[in-house]
Chains A and B, each alone.
Chain A
Amino acid sequence: MKNKSLNRNARKNFVTYGLVIAAYAILQTMSATGSMSSSLKGMLVPICAYVVMAVSLNLTVGVLGELSLGHAGFMSVGAFTGVTAAMSLQNIVPSPILRLLIGMVTGAVFAAFAGVLIGIPVLRLKGDYLAIVTLAFGEIIKSIINNLYVGVDENGLQLSLLTNKMALADGGKIIINGPMGITTIEKLSTFTVGFLLVMLTLFIVFNLVNSRSGRAIMAIRDNRIAAESVGVNVVKYRLMAFVTSAALAGAAGTLFAMNYSTIIANKFDFNTSILVLVFVVLGGLGNMLGSIIAAAALTILPEALRQFADYRMLIYAIVLILVMLITNNPVLKGYMDIIKGKLTGRAKKPEGPAPEGGAGNGK
């Protein structure tokens, strides 16, 4: 029985990898043959970044079982540190792709560091209290970056807080300019790098979830006291999931920022955290493929609704409420199952408890 479920997991993971590769191949061909609208083309990298954000948040919310409302904070840390690294190495590292990679690694490392700093106090709390503290950290990160000034000259990096007190030598340049953010980013991100980051994220998350550590994390989610009593180190495994999630969000932040010429800290506010949380919940908790599809679909949806002009965000809100009602209201869900049964021509099996806490909604 156990063996069978493991095989099923592995098969599901390979389906996910396969679908991502197929999507990449199709989109890349479409973009190469020019049969893609320019607005969609411009959204490819943000979609990749949001997919990574959603999958990494799913690790915290779905696998670890803790609600985080400050995931955009890690994206912000990754974006600003990563872009700073890439920009200050402009003269030293000539290859743009290498600079992007260094930026992403830097972003991930700093976001992981922020994850440790935040995780140690945050993970002592539970439930809604934990959620509000992650929200608070997200807002603190936003406030600090909004008041941070970073410049580079031949002597290295210079930092100052609140006001621009830097004395840059000739030829030096300001990188982060307080509330103005970073204004002269080279657009280094490409769809291929984004795709590779998505694959790497999936690889890390799937391997973590299917490892001994992953099982410990899920045991903590399902019953913390029981897990603790059989000798699972609760603090260590919770922190492991939280920091992995933060690091991936940091890399996604760098990827996202390097796709635009300017980026400001207010871009990564509470609303962005919520946006990513919506991807995760709509896709199904613990269901990575669901997160990917939800992230891609909901990033394109406002764009696809452009013909409704002013009404598009209203429609987005209504769609969101309706989807939540249909997938969670017992009565409506019953109707949906009947319709689904008629369409597929067979009755639906009675639902047992979800095997991995995956809500598996909307499938």
Chain B
Amino acid sequence: MTFLNYVLSGISLGSIYAIIALGYTMVYGIAKMLNFAHGDVIMVGAYICFFAVTRYSLPPLVGVLAAMAVCTVLGILVERFAYKPLRTAPSLAVLITAIGVSYFLQNGAQLLWTPNPKVFSSVVGTGRLALFGGQLTVSYVTITTIVSCIVIMIALTWFTGNTKMGKAMRACSEDKGAAQLMGINVNSTISVTFAIGSALAAIAGVLLCSAYPTLVPTTGSMPGIKAFTAAVFGGIGSIPGAFLGGLLLGVIEIFAKAYISTQLSDAVVFAVLIVVLLVKPAGLLGKQVSEKV
């Protein structure tokens, strides 16, 4: 049963990584940029939900919606003012700008909300569900996290496969120039991608802080890096890849903590990533593009 418990907490952590990684991978697929500020959007989402629930005593669901709304606007604003002017710039310049945005969000949060840690109260309560006559207990947070991740995954797959905007996204990620010639508004498609990614980041932030309740301005950076790793692990640019990569990364991390060493768990996670990339250089589900000479 302990094994099953580890698997469940691994999947739960992995679901959070997967939701964050979806944001990374969608933005990468379309804008071809590593959005390092994504992790800090998570933090902003968590803070908004925290204040909505504790200071204005709104119901948790409203808190989550508020966090999603604020992060969506934030994502669109960041894209409009920092990334859009650099659409034709070399990718390193965009990367450094993203890092600048990340510093900006972290330090802005530090000024607005002080660096003192906030204790985040879980949005779904701290109850636990007992299974198999109490042999296996699962917290509501774990269940909510896993269910949200699955719902988000199904919704995104449907969205990119069946809606007009989703098809526009896929077209842009294949070939921006051709998409534009076919009458797709590339700029608004990219904005929508950022909006969706940021809204997902808000959900991830709330779920992350429900499971690990300390909230500081740098809360988002390490999960951000891990989720970025997860996105690459699954094959960056691929939505099922981000889902798979996130889940695997979460499970590996919890198993490494349980069976190898708590302190070295990060090292184990990254070592697995390296081995996978050496065997499959484009990630688990990434497209291997052969070079034309």
State which of A99-107, A126-134, A232-240, A344-352 sits at the interface with chain B.
Answer: A126-134
Residues of A within 8 A of B228 (CB): 132
Q: How far is the CA of A287 from the CA of B49 in the complex (A)?
A: 46
Q: How far is the CA of A135 from the CA of B282 in the complex (A)?
A: 16
Within 8 A of B (CB), among A305-363: 310-311, 313-314, 316-318, 320-321, 324-325, 327-332, 359
Residues of B within 8 A of A128 (CB): 28, 34, 232, 236
Instruction: Say whether, besides A144-B267, A324-B97, A330-B88, A135 and B293 are in contact (CB < 8 Å).
Output: no
Contact with B along A142-185 (1 / 0, CB 8 A): 01101100000000000000100000000000000000000000
Residues of A within 8 A of B86 (CB): 324-325, 328-329
Contact with A along B94-108 (1 / 0, CB 8 A): 011101110110111
State which of B11-19, B117-125, B183-191, B258-266 sits at the interface with chain A.
Answer: B258-266
Tell me whether A318 and B267 are in contact (CB under 8 A).
no
Contact partner, B281, options A124, A140, A318, A325, Cβ 8 Å: A124
Instruction: Say whether, besides A146-B263, A314-B108, A139 and B96 are in contact (CB < 8 Å).
Output: no
Within 8 A of A (CB), among B250-293: 261, 263-264, 266-267, 270-271, 273-274, 277-278, 281-283, 291, 293
Q: How far is the CA of A201 from the CA of B65 in the complex (A)?
A: 54
B111 interfacial by beta-carbon distance below 8 Å? yes
Tell me whether A147 and B277 are in contact (CB under 8 A).
no
Measured CB to CB, the closest approach of chain B to A285, in angstroms, equals 7
B225 interfacial by beta-carbon distance below 8 Å? yes
Instruction: Say whether, besides A136-B229, A143-B267, A324-B86, A311 and B96 are in contact (CB < 8 Å).
Output: no
Residues of A within 8 A of B95 (CB): 67, 281
Residues of A within 8 A of B271 (CB): 136, 140
Contact partner, A147, options B89, B263, B274, B282, Cβ 8 Å: B263
Tell me whether A143 and B264 are in contact (CB under 8 A).
yes
Tell me whether B266 and A139 are in contact (CB under 8 A).
yes
B134 interfacial by beta-carbon distance below 8 Å? no
CB nearest to A136 among chain B residues = B270
Residues of B within 8 A of A274 (CB): 99
Residues of B within 8 A of A321 (CB): 82, 97, 100-101, 104
Instruction: Say whether, besides A143-B264, A314-B107, A324-B97, A61 and B92 are in contact (CB < 8 Å).
Output: yes
B90 interfacial by beta-carbon distance below 8 Å? yes
CB nearest to B92 among chain A residues = A281
CB nearest to B33 among chain A residues = A128
A17 interfacial by beta-carbon distance below 8 Å? no
A278 interfacial by beta-carbon distance below 8 Å? yes
B85 interfacial by beta-carbon distance below 8 Å? yes
Contact partner, B277, options A129, A143, A277, A332, Cβ 8 Å: A129
CB nearest to A319 among chain B residues = B100
Residues of B within 8 A of A113 (CB): none
Tell me whether A121 and B104 are in contact (CB under 8 A).
no
A24 interfacial by beta-carbon distance below 8 Å? no
Residues of B within 8 A of A331 (CB): 85
CB nearest to A226 among chain B residues = B293
Contact partner, A329, options B85, B101, B108, Cβ 8 Å: B85
Residues of A within 8 A of B82 (CB): 321, 325
Contact partner, B274, options A137, A270, A325, Cβ 8 Å: A137
Residues of B within 8 A of A135 (CB): 225, 229
Q: How far is the CA of A296 from the CA of B39 in the complex (A)?
A: 29
Residues of B within 8 A of A125 (CB): 277-278, 281
Q: How far is the CA of A285 from the CA of B95 in the complex (A)?
A: 14
Tell me whether A132 and B273 are in contact (CB under 8 A).
yes
Tell me whether A133 and B273 are in contact (CB under 8 A).
yes
Contact with A along B13-56 (1 / 0, CB 8 A): 00000000000000010000010000000000000000000000
Contact partner, A133, options B90, B107, B111, B277, Cβ 8 Å: B277
Q: How far is the CA of A313 from the CA of B99 in the complex (A)?
A: 13
Within 8 A of B (CB), among A27-50: none
CB nearest to A118 among chain B residues = B274
A255 interfacial by beta-carbon distance below 8 Å? no
Tell me whether A140 and B101 are in contact (CB under 8 A).
no
Measured CB to CB, the closest approach of chain A to B238, in angstroms, equals 13
Q: How far is the CA of A281 from the CA of B95 in the complex (A)?
A: 10
Tell me whether B277 and A281 are in contact (CB under 8 A).
no
Measured CB to CB, the closest approach of chain B to A184, in angstroms, equals 23
Tell me whether A325 and B85 are in contact (CB under 8 A).
yes
Contact with A along B110-144 (1 / 0, CB 8 A): 11000000000000000000000000000000000
Residues of A within 8 A of B263 (CB): 143, 146-147, 162
A-B pairs, top 5 by smallest CB distance, nearest first, are A136-B270, A328-B89, A317-B103, A143-B267, A320-B100
Residues of B in contact with A (beta carbons under 8 Å apart)? 28, 34, 82, 85-86, 88-90, 92-93, 95-97, 99-101, 103-104, 106-108, 110-111, 225, 228-229, 232, 236, 261, 263-264, 266-267, 270-271, 273-274, 277-278, 281-283, 291, 293
Can you list 15 contacts pairing A with B, beta carbon distance less than 8 Å?
Answer: A124-B281, A132-B229, A132-B273, A132-B277, A136-B274, A270-B225, A281-B92, A285-B92, A316-B103, A317-B104, A317-B107, A320-B97, A324-B97, A325-B85, A329-B85
Identify 5 new A-B residue pairs, CB closer than 8 A, beyond the known A147-B261, A321-B82: A129-B281, A281-B93, A313-B106, A316-B103, A329-B89
